Amino acid sequence: MTKRQFLKTGLTGLGGFCLYGMLGCDRQTAPPPDAPRPQTNGASPEALPGHPAAWFKSLSNNRLQCELCPKRCKLDSGERGPCRVRKNVDGEGRTLAYANPALVLEDEIARKPFFHVLPGSRALAISTAGCNLACDFCEVWDMALVAPEDIHTYQMEPPRIVDKAESGGLPAVSYSFGEPVVFYEYMRDTAEEAKKRGMLNLLHTAGYIEPEPLKEIIPLMDAVNIDLKSFDPQFYRRVVEGELEPVLETIKLLVRANIHLEITNIQIPTLNDNPEELREMCKWLANEAGPGTPLHFARFYPLHRLSDLPQTPISTLEKAHDIAQDEGMEFVYISRVTGHSAENTFCPSCGEKIIARTGFILDDLQVDEKGKCRHCDRQIPGRWNHPDKKKASS
Ligand code: SF4
C-alpha cells in the first residue's frame, strides 16, 4: 500500500475525509507543465511551461544556477534539476510545481506533526510532486520522486487553496507530506494569501534550503517542523542524498527568528539508531534549539528502498526518548505507536499530563489559550490561540 493510499485509509478511519475529488478540484486539463514551448517568436512568459521561479542566477551561455537549495544546480537550457520541478527554459528559471498540487487534504495538525499548535484542530495540507532529496525511506516516493507531469495533479491557484481552507472552517494551511522547498513559489504565494485572511501557515520540511530563500519565507510561517533525519553526515550522503550541515544551519536560523519549532527524527533500525549518535544530536538540540523544543521520535515502517528492514522496535524509541530527556529535552514524544504514554504532553514543572492524545486525536487539553499549564501556570512553548481574523483583515 502506498503512503497516500494509507493516508486515505487512515483519514477515513479517523472520521476525516480525503479531499481527493471532494474539493471540486479540476483535473489538470492543461498540457503537461513540461510540454514543449510553442514555436512563437517573442513568446510572452505566460507561454512558457511552468511559472516564473525565484532564486535563479544567470550564468554565461544561457546557463542558470539555482540558489534555492544547497545543491545549487547549474542547469543548461532545457535542463531541470534533480528535484524534477525547477527548470532552465531558454535561459529563464521556471518552476513546474506551481498551482498543480498532487495532494490536497484536510488533516490533523498533530499529524504534521505539530503537538504544540492548536491541539485538536485540523489544517488544509497541500503538496506537489518533486523533492530535492532522495531518501531511501521516503514515505511519499510515488509523489516526491516523480515529475509533476507523471502523476495526477489539480489546477489550484493559491487563492483557491485558501478559499477551501476557509470554507472548511480550518484555521491553517500546512505545507507538508512532500517537500515544500521544491514548490517554494506556490507555498510563498499561498502563505501570503492565507496570512492576509488571518490563517496560520505551518511548514513541515527536511530543511534543505539555502539561508536567503528561507529568510524570505520565515515571516509568513507560524510554525515549522524540521525532519532531522540523522546526526551523521555519512547517513545524509548515503541514505538521503544530501548534507547534514545545511539542515543544522536551517534549524539555527529558525531559532534566531524565534519561530515555533518542532523536530522530527525517524528512528530506522541499524541506520540511525546508535545511542551515542542520538545523544550527540539531543545535546546539540538542547544547546542550539533549546530544551523546550518539542522532539518527536517517529517509528519507521518498512517501505520504498528499505523494505527489508524491520519496523522500529518500541524499545529503541523508548531508549531514544530517555536519552533526549537525559540531555534536558523537556517535550519528547514517541509517535506512530498509538496508545504509548509518550504520545501525551507532560508539564515539565508540575509533571501533570497537560495534553492527552490517542494517536493524533486529542483527548484532553490542560493548556490555556495563553499557553499556560492549567495546573501550575508554567508557560508551554507553542501556538495555542486561534488566529485573530479581524486583526488580519483590518
Ligand atoms: S531546488 Fe532543485 S534545481 Fe534548485 S538547487 Fe535544489 S535540486 Fe537543484
Pairing, β 154-155 against β 86-89? unpaired
For 17-75, write each residue's pLDDT tens digit.
333 333 333 333 333 444 333 333 334 545 668 999 999 999 999 999 999 999 999 99
Q: From the CA of 241, how far away is ligand 1's center (Å)?
A: 12
Question: What is the rounded CA–CA span in Å between residue 226 and residue 204?
Answer: 6
pLDDT-derived band at 392, boundaries 50, 70, 90: low
Q: From the CA of 77, how far away is ligand 1's center (Å)?
A: 15
Q: Is the overall model pTM greater than 0.85, yes or no?
A: yes
Pairing, β 92-95 against β 51-52? antiparallel
Instruction: Give yes or no for residue 10 having a pLDDT over 90.
Output: no
Task: Verify whether ligand 1 is closer than 6 Å to residue 292 (CB atom).
Answer: no
Task: Verify whether ligand 1 is closer than 6 Å to residue 66 (CB atom).
Answer: yes
CA of 85, closest atom in ligand 1: 2
Q: From the CA of 134, how far away is ligand 1's center (Å)?
A: 12
Question: What is the rounded CA–CA span in Å between residue 52 and residue 38?
Answer: 17
Q: Where are the domains of the chain?
A: 1-28+48-196
DSSP string across 76-101? -TT-B-TTSSEEEETTEEEES-SS--
For 255-304, write each residue's pLDDT tens digit.
999 999 999 999 999 999 999 999 999 999 999 999 999 999 999 999 99
Question: What is the rounded CA–CA span in Å between residue 253 and residue 247?
Answer: 10
What's the pLDDT score for residue 36? 37
E-assigned strands of 240-378? 260-267, 295-299, 332-335, 345-346, 353-358, 361-365
For 196-252, write each residue's pLDDT tens digit.
999 999 999 999 999 999 999 999 999 999 999 999 999 999 999 999 999 999 999
Q: From the CA of 205, how far away is ligand 1's center (Å)?
A: 15
